[in-house]
Structure 1
């Protein structure tokens, strides 16, 4: 997603949320390269459910080569004709690509001033882009910091209806070790976010 460069004062907890969204978006946008795997291997995990999931990714990254990560990514999301998983809201919610969930997302993006980055042609309702959008809205990357109420609205409309299902499928896939751990982290984080948003007033 194209972004506006501007600095905002962000609560540390919200910045941590944004960084986790962006971390998931980065991992799901393209195969993890050697430098990224090395960085992940050096992560220090806290003793929380999310921290334990990060610790698992860190341990697996330490023994995963860039070539292995690329094979896993291709098997999962590209494959011959199509990968094991189709990481799009339209597919998960309707069974088809480029359906109403994508149209709804594009309308919401336009209203919020979020534009697809130049050179990207994949439908915007893919999981990596949605993670990037959530992270960007939290820290004001699209021009202004999005209120928690607006975050909840976007999450409930475009992420919550299918992301936990997707990450559960990713966690359970037979063709992945590293990305299976990514699925575990994503599922836990989506559950935490859903629970937190659920207690906010509408």
Structure 2
């Protein structure tokens, strides 16, 4: 079996998608907060967003971030934000965008994790799917065209709005910095995919 080489730039993209997915799948524990605190940035918009996330992570305690996560995404009845493509695109949960995603998942050999009970169109799962496609977790690494198609259909139309909402949410402190990093990263991806047209 031959191993396909993944370009360093693509591996870094996949790593950042995975990182966002990890932070949005559940509240980070002390180890993940420490990893966030150890990140460094640069003068780019994404670098500055990462540096801000690092500073906020240094000042954050796991129990505080758990309360923040619960207020944002779980709440009593529902959280402040509903991080699902169906909700952002139609105003309702479990709608056509979820059905379309499930169909595309089958075609790409992507299966739902057995320990995950949320609809597959949640932001954390979509970030993880994109990372997996880039590095070949579901078979061969997806071509740039396949990545662009998946992104344009399932992530691009709404993820930037979600990340902006996360930045501005009243219960957002640590997650405001995650929102900024996610929004800036989505802008970078949008522009990169536009340039491949």
TM-score (norm: length of structure 2): 0.97
Match of 2:134 among 128, 132, 138: 138
Distance 2:173 2:39 in 1: 18
| Matching residue within 96, 99, 107 for 1:100 | 96
Give the equivalent residue in structure 2 for 1:38.
Answer: 34
CA RMSD, 1 decimal: 1.0
Unaligned ranges ≥5, structure 1? 1-5
Bigger relative contact order (CA 8 A; separation at least 6):
1
What is the CA distance between 1:47 and its match in structure 2?
2.1
Secondary structure at 2:82 match in 1: coil
Which TM-score applies when normalising by structure 1?
0.95
Query: 1:58 corresponds to which residue?
Result: 54
Give SS of 1:10's match: coil
Q: Which runs of 4 or more aligned residues in structure 1 lie more than 4 Å from their structure 2 counterparts after TM superposition?
A: none
Alignment of 1:15-164 (within 5 A): 15-164=11-160
Alpha-carbon distance in 2 for matches of 1:165, 1:179 = 14
Counterpart mapping for 1:157-172 below 5 A: 157-172=153-168
Contact 1:89–1:158 (CA<8 Å) still a contact in 2?
yes
Aligned partners of 1:44, 1:195: CA distance in 2, in Å?
23
Alpha-carbon distance between aligned partners in 2 of 1:128 and 1:37, rounded to the nearest angstrom:
17
Question: Structure 2 CA distance, aligned partners of 1:75 and 1:186?
Answer: 19
